[in-house]
Amino acid sequence: MYEEVRVEHPLDVLTRIERAAATDQELLLRDDGTAWTELLADYVDALSGLATPGTAENGYIATYGLDEGHAGGCG
Protein backbone atom coordinates (compact mmCIF):
# COMPACT_ATOMS: atom_id res chain seq x y z
CA MET A 1 0.00 0.00 0.00
CA TYR A 2 2.80 2.46 0.88
CA GLU A 3 5.73 3.05 -1.42
CA GLU A 4 9.12 3.27 0.21
CA VAL A 5 10.73 6.58 -0.64
CA ARG A 6 14.49 6.58 -0.65
CA VAL A 7 15.94 9.86 0.58
CA GLU A 8 19.51 10.83 -0.24
CA HIS A 9 21.72 11.30 2.81
CA PRO A 10 22.28 15.05 3.51
CA LEU A 11 26.07 14.68 3.48
CA ASP A 12 25.88 13.04 0.06
CA VAL A 13 23.84 15.99 -1.20
CA LEU A 14 26.38 18.47 0.18
CA THR A 15 29.28 16.51 -1.30
CA ARG A 16 27.61 16.50 -4.72
CA ILE A 17 27.01 20.28 -4.53
CA GLU A 18 30.62 20.90 -3.42
CA ARG A 19 32.04 18.85 -6.29
CA ALA A 20 29.84 20.61 -8.84
CA ALA A 21 30.93 24.02 -7.53
CA ALA A 22 34.62 23.01 -7.63
CA THR A 23 34.24 21.83 -11.21
CA ASP A 24 32.52 25.10 -12.17
CA GLN A 25 35.35 27.12 -10.59
CA GLU A 26 38.02 25.07 -12.34
CA LEU A 27 36.33 25.62 -15.69
CA LEU A 28 35.99 29.36 -15.08
CA LEU A 29 39.64 29.68 -14.09
CA ARG A 30 40.83 27.62 -17.05
CA ASP A 31 38.69 29.50 -19.55
CA ASP A 32 39.60 32.92 -18.13
CA GLY A 33 42.90 33.08 -19.99
CA THR A 34 44.82 34.63 -17.10
CA ALA A 35 48.41 33.47 -16.78
CA TRP A 36 47.92 32.16 -13.22
CA THR A 37 51.51 31.04 -12.69
CA GLU A 38 52.81 34.51 -13.58
CA LEU A 39 50.14 36.18 -11.45
CA LEU A 40 51.01 34.01 -8.45
CA ALA A 41 54.74 34.67 -8.89
CA ASP A 42 54.10 38.43 -9.08
CA TYR A 43 51.93 38.24 -5.95
CA VAL A 44 54.64 36.40 -3.98
CA ASP A 45 57.25 38.91 -5.15
CA ALA A 46 55.02 41.80 -4.05
CA LEU A 47 54.47 40.25 -0.61
CA SER A 48 58.19 39.62 -0.24
CA GLY A 49 58.88 43.22 -1.19
CA LEU A 50 56.51 44.41 1.52
CA ALA A 51 58.04 42.18 4.20
CA THR A 52 61.73 42.71 3.45
CA PRO A 53 62.13 46.48 4.08
CA GLY A 54 60.95 46.24 7.68
CA THR A 55 63.62 43.72 8.59
CA ALA A 56 66.37 45.08 6.34
CA GLU A 57 66.50 48.39 8.25
CA ASN A 58 68.19 46.71 11.21
CA GLY A 59 70.51 44.61 9.04
CA TYR A 60 68.54 41.41 9.61
CA ILE A 61 66.44 39.72 6.99
CA ALA A 62 64.12 37.06 8.32
CA THR A 63 63.60 34.00 6.18
CA TYR A 64 61.08 31.29 6.85
CA GLY A 65 60.56 27.89 5.33
CA LEU A 66 57.52 25.70 5.42
CA ASP A 67 59.04 23.45 8.08
CA GLU A 68 60.25 26.19 10.44
CA GLY A 69 58.42 27.87 13.28
CA HIS A 70 55.33 26.73 15.04
CA ALA A 71 52.68 26.73 12.35
CA GLY A 72 49.40 25.43 13.70
CA GLY A 73 50.13 26.32 17.30
CA CYS A 74 51.89 24.53 20.10
CA GLY A 75 50.77 22.18 22.82
Per-residue confidence in pLDDT tens, the chain, 75 aa: 678 888 899 999 999 999 999 999 888 888 888 888 888 899 898 888 877 665 556 666 666 665 555 555 555
Contacts of 55 by beta carbon, 8 Å cutoff, 6+ apart: 61, 62
Contact 48, 54 (CB under 8 A): no
Alpha-carbon span 41 to 31, nearest angstrom: 20
Q: What is the pLDDT of residue 70?
A: 56
Alpha-carbon span 40 to 44, nearest angstrom: 6
Q: What is the pLDDT of residue 54?
A: 58
Q: Is the pTM of this model over 0.85?
A: no
Contact 19, 28 (CB under 8 A): no
